[in-house]
Structures are given as C-alpha cells and as structure tokens.
Structure 1
C-alpha cells in the first residue's frame, strides 16, 4: 500500500470522503440543542460538531496527550468527512511524525505498525461511531492528514470550512489532569464564523451565579453547581449555551433541557474587571501595565490602579470560555515576532464570546481576519494582538492600548 498522499490537495481531500466500511449509517450520540431547527441555519452541522467534540473529550480523558492530539483530530475528521464530505478541515496536526515511525518489514509491501500508531488507532476506534469499527490504520492516518497543512488549498475566494483545535491548553498526560484544556471546533462560511463548540472535561463552575430564563426575560437568580465538565455551543444569532457532560446523553429532545444560556459579565470599569493573559506572557509586557499593576489575590485590590489577574491554564480557548461564561471580563494577547497566531486557537472561542454579548478584535479595533492566510486559512495576523472583552470595556481598553507608549 502506498503511504504517500496524493500530490493534489483536492484529490487527497476527495479520496478520504469515501467511507472505508460497508455500514450505511453510523450510530451517533443524541443530544438536543437549546434552540429549534428553524432558528438555526446550520443546525445539522452544529449537531454533528457537538457529537464529535463530545466523543473527542471522552477520548482525551482516557488518553495520554500525544495520542489524544492525533486521536482527536482523526476522530473529528472521520465524523465530519462522512457527514459533510465537501467541507474541508483546517486543523493543527498531520501524521508525518507517526508515518516516520512506521515499521515496514523488508521485502514486504504495505505498512507496518508501531506502538504509538497502534495506540492512536485503538483510541479512535474505541470512541468512534459504530460504523467505524472496520477502520484500518491507514484510514486513521489519512483522517489526521485531512486537516494538515497540505490537505487543501483555498485560494483567494471565501469558502466554507471547519477549524479544529484538537487539544488547546494541555501539557503532559491528559488523564487525571486538573488543568483546563479545551477541544474547539468551528465552522466558517463565507469568511464568517457560523457556529462554534468548545468541550472542557475538567471545567468547574465553582457555584457561579448564572442567568436563567423567566417569563420576564433573562434574570440572574440561580446558582450553578454543575460540577465537572462542560460543552459550550454557539450558533450565529442563537446565543451561547453550555451543558454539563453528565447531561449530554439526554435524548428527550426537549428544548433547553439541561442547557444554560451564557452571558459575559457586566463590568464597565476597568480596574474592577477580571483579566486573563497568555501563560507565555507577563502583565508587564502588555500596554495596560503602564496604567495598572496586577494581582492574583482578589482580596488585595486596594485602589483603582490595580487589576485582578486570574490564574488560568495555558491555551487561548479556555480564556475565551471564561469570558463567554462571565467568569472573566477580558482576555488580552500580544502578538509577538517569530510567533504565528493560529486560527484554531481562536475561531470557536470568538463566536462563543460574540454570541454571549462580548467583543473580539485586534488592538486597533478591527475584526480578526480568518481569511488573511488565503491559501491555508491556518494563521491570523492581528495588528498588535487580540483583545477579547465583555463588550462594555472594549473601547476603553482599546483607547488605553493605543495611547500607551509601550505599544510599538
């Protein structure tokens, strides 16, 4: 069997869209969405995205991180390519590392296996739909490569495509980790994000107040003690919602069953807001440090020249999740030389924050351009950096950034 990919990205993409098994319809997890089908243009796509992310999160919980990175990408790719074969995938991984270590016995055709490839294969088939049980190792490797950098060339015109972050924000062994890590999946249509899903198996609510529906509208009148693990979804025009992992198997199809509407917080004064920054950056490296010092101790804020800096795990999507759920007010990221900002670290989070009432721009106030990387749609190039806020604080912080002498 020839392990080389087809030379044409389009030919490669088409080749993996054909099912590799004889089952006519796979078994999918069933989970109702929090809004009616007639309200959401991409309802079917969002159903598939939720199902894929849910399976991926279960894989993460049971799997070491190296295997989980490849396994999640293969698992999501297989599901999406079966249901939507004409929509390409943009994702972080490719199988080159795995293929390099494949053992091929001398004088034999085909490809051999190694422990890592076998582990990825077993993880994928263990969490895949029932129809995927007859997959081969080669099928799984090709599914990974469907999202790789050489899989599809977009050109200048907008296109519909998926954006996947297999695991955002984890280090070391995933299983048993207390760190926040997120599986993120978004659908981009004609340059705009149509839907986003973020799954965080280790998310803890800490009994935060939430907004709940009533006959008079949305009011803050409930404490959410939802425990561990959350799926967050957003669809353009339909809001942002979250649901506990323990409730995702509910098949009653009742509207809103188990789903909670998410909103950003309402802080409108900068020094009272809660901030998140990248784990690879310091507060002192950001423009606002010329105006405010920072503290991680909520009880130590004594004046209006100090802000609360939340301690969070690495990765950008968990920060978006925190802003969209009202747990943080601001996430600020500085663009750095020699560092490429990847689309998958932001896409799913952007729509979740926007649909929750927040705002996402670069440091000059312009929307993030997901099509700036015209060929690959893999990188974004925000001027200065990325600013994610509850909306109320956005213009204030932009003005502070622009007026800061530290902005180069």
Structure 2
C-alpha cells in the first residue's frame, strides 16, 4: 500500500527545532467553538512548531503572490491583457509566471538549498517576449533588496521550479511544491470564480506544511468589499484561516486574526455536499448509479445529492472541504492515471489537519515518497477521494461496488 505521510521527524539542517505534540455551511461545522489566535504572522500555537520559520516564509510569499494576482487582474480589466495558452489549452496569464518568479525569489533568500517543484518554466514568456512585463509585476512585490532585479534574475527564478532545474535521487527528498495559480480560468473570470496560489513543503517524502491563498474567497457574502482568504497548516497543529493581508487602496487595514477551521461533521452520504472537477461530470463518477446530482439545496429527493458549483481548479475544492463548506471532493484520474503534485499537495495537508481524509479510490494514501518523475507526478489508483473523514469508508465502498458499471 502506498503511504503518504503528512508529518515528519526528519529535519531540515538549518532549522532543527523540537516538535511539540498535537495538543454556510457554518451550521454543519463541528460543534467545538472557534479557536482564535492573536494577530501575528502565523497562528500563535505554530510559533513553537518544527518548521515555523518555513511556514512564516511561505505565508509571506503566498500573500505577496496574491497581491500580484489582484494587481495583474485589475490591469487586465483595463487593458488588452497578455494571455497565453499552454499546450493543454488552459489559459495562462502573466500572473502565473510572475507568481512563480516571486515565490521562487522569496523562498531562495531564506532557504537557498531547498529546491522548488513548480508548474511553469520560462519558455513561453521567452518566445512571446513577455519577460519585461513579468519583471515589472514581480519586482513591485518582492521584499527589499539592495540590487534591482534584472530580466535574467526573473527568468532564472521561474526556471528554478522547472523540471530540469534539479535532479532528485531515488531517496525521498525535501522540496517546495508550488502551483502558482490553480484555476487560471477562475483568474480570468469574474470575482465569483475562485483561483488559488498553493505552496507546500515536503520533507523526506512527507508533507509538513501548506499555505493556500484565495483572493476571491467570500467567507461572508454580505462583505463584498473584503474578499480573500489564506489557509495554513503545519503537521500536528491544525488548519487555520484569516483574511488576506493586502490593503485595498484608499482603505484602512483592519487587524486580522487566525481562526482554526475544521471539516464538517456530516455522516450521511445523502446529506453530504459534493464537489467535482470542472472538467468532469457527475454521470462519469461511480456514485451516479445511486444518486442524481442537483445544484440547489432546496428539497432534494431521496435519490438526489447536492453538488456544489465550485470554479475553478482542484485546490479551491480542498479549501471547501477543509473549511467545512463541502463534505466531499471526488476526482477521477484520466486515462494516464496520473495527477500533478502541485494540484494536490497543499490541499491534502490542509484537509488532513482540519480533520478530514485523502486517499485514492482504493483507500491507499497518496505516496509522495515514491515519485519517479522528478517529484512532479503522483499515481493514485482510480482517482482521489477527499472527505470529512466520517464519510470516507462509506464512499470508498460505493466506489468499489459501482466502479465497474461506469
């Protein structure tokens, strides 16, 4: 059985610290009261955690990246935009490359020996002469530096996360995993569509921390002027959220607090709230033989379940499960039966630390330590199942029973 460990006793040599032991929507969250942490760069309980320095750096990098996304998107609304397309026809914006350059630069300042596994390389912006624009949007968001950044610095930072930047050996490795913008279609759509900047740290094959920033997230739909949420996890210390710390021009910055979040407590498949990939249909999934999917809660019939609309990308679905807004996220692997590490790593630890569970469709843990493709590809059997934990075995049984029918 493949095993994904979500915590580690291994150490990064520069940051050895003793690890301490683990010490709407809203109506269906766990009954325990919200736990708040005073405003700080990280939730106060995590200040004593083994990888708290790495988490502080990751949070800062992701918040800077989210500010970059917001600014670039604002410029797209008032200009022609500079939109490319990947080979798989997913639209890619300059923000995608800018985020990768920015996060790479920020992390390399403090942890130069830890490699980066990320989605992009600089080939596209080199061939389309967009490097200067990426330099412009990136330099305004970096932390202070004595030397101005050149085009070469930006291209090198992007390529630091590319597939040819680092050669991994056969042994489990330590590395950052970045999805610069998960849900680029959501980035290009209106404010109701979600996209996520996702960053995780894997130590010796084990995910030890994760940070997701979602600039369009609306926790309170009545507060339309203050969208944006950041979600963080560290093994053994739970999952926490707060509003993004960017300031809208002309407004005063309001102090924010970290709030611990949990998966929902639902135990009935009929009552669960599901989400699936934007590219897949409910009818392509095994549970469709037992339930029809409806997009409105209303009065569901006995053979109907609620399928939440959630665009775009995979990481926003992990956020929904970890925050208690959804109960289940199901993804069926395509013919090649592989998925990209950056689409899942950070979401997995956030769900796990919020009390949920993530496995493949056979119930095996996802194995980050056995990657044979430069830590970029993982191999779940059948698909990925993300739940609140209570529903996991029930849904695995339904998948096992009905998979041969679909």
TM-score bucket of the superposed structures, by smaller chain = 0.7 to 0.9
CA contact (8 A) 2:204 2:369 kept: no
The 2-side partners of 1:37 and 1:380 are apart by 29
The 2-side partners of 1:204 and 1:35 are apart by 24
- How far residue 134 of structure 1 moved from its aligned partner, in angstroms, is 0.6
Quick check: which has more Rg, 1 or 2? 1
CA contact (8 A) 2:45 2:237 kept: no
- How far residue 63 of structure 1 moved from its aligned partner, in angstroms, is 1.1
Structure 2, gaps ≥5 residues long: 1-38, 74-91, 249-254
Q: TM-score, normalised by structure 1?
A: 0.80
After superposition, the Cα gap between the structure-2 partners of 1:247 and 1:173, relative to the gap in structure 1 and judged at 3 Å, is closer
Matches within 5 A, 1:23-34: 31-34=40-43
- How far residue 179 of structure 1 moved from its aligned partner, in angstroms, is 1.3
After superposition, the Cα gap between the structure-2 partners of 1:402 and 1:207, relative to the gap in structure 1 and judged at 3 Å, is same
The 1-side partners of 2:359 and 2:134 are apart by 37
- Return the match for 1:43 from 52, 59, 81: 52
After superposition, the Cα gap between the structure-2 partners of 1:393 and 1:132, relative to the gap in structure 1 and judged at 3 Å, is farther
- How far residue 302 of structure 1 moved from its aligned partner, in angstroms, is 2.3
Deviations 1:176-220 (A, max 9, x none): 643100000000011111000000000001369xxxxxxxxxxxx
The 2-side partners of 1:226 and 1:190 are apart by 42
The residue matched to 1:98 in structure 2 has which SS? helix
Structure 1, gaps ≥5 residues long: 1-29, 102-113, 209-223, 250-255
- Greater relative contact order: 1 or 2 (C-alpha under 8 angstroms, separation 6 or more)? 2
The 2-side partners of 1:248 and 1:325 are apart by 24
The residue matched to 2:399 in structure 1 has which SS? helix
Aligned to 2:404: 406
After superposition, the Cα gap between the structure-2 partners of 1:203 and 1:160, relative to the gap in structure 1 and judged at 3 Å, is same
The residue matched to 2:93 in structure 1 has which SS? helix
- 1:192 matched to 2:206: yes
Aligned to 1:164: 178
The 2-side partners of 1:284 and 1:178 are apart by 25
- 1:94 matched to 2:121: yes
Aligned to 1:321: 319
Aligned to 2:243: 244
- 1:354 matched to 2:352: yes
- How far residue 372 of structure 1 moved from its aligned partner, in angstroms, is 3.2
The 2-side partners of 1:377 and 1:84 are apart by 19
After superposition, the Cα gap between the structure-2 partners of 1:294 and 1:132, relative to the gap in structure 1 and judged at 3 Å, is farther
- Return the match for 1:78 from 102, 105, 109: 105
* Count of aligned pairs: 344
Q: Which runs of 4+ in 1 moved over 6 A?
A: none
Aligned to 2:196: 182
After superposition, the Cα gap between the structure-2 partners of 1:100 and 1:149, relative to the gap in structure 1 and judged at 3 Å, is same
- How far residue 158 of structure 1 moved from its aligned partner, in angstroms, is 0.9
- How far residue 162 of structure 1 moved from its aligned partner, in angstroms, is 0.2
- How far residue 38 of structure 1 moved from its aligned partner, in angstroms, is 5.6
The residue matched to 1:131 in structure 2 has which SS? coil
The residue matched to 2:213 in structure 1 has which SS? strand
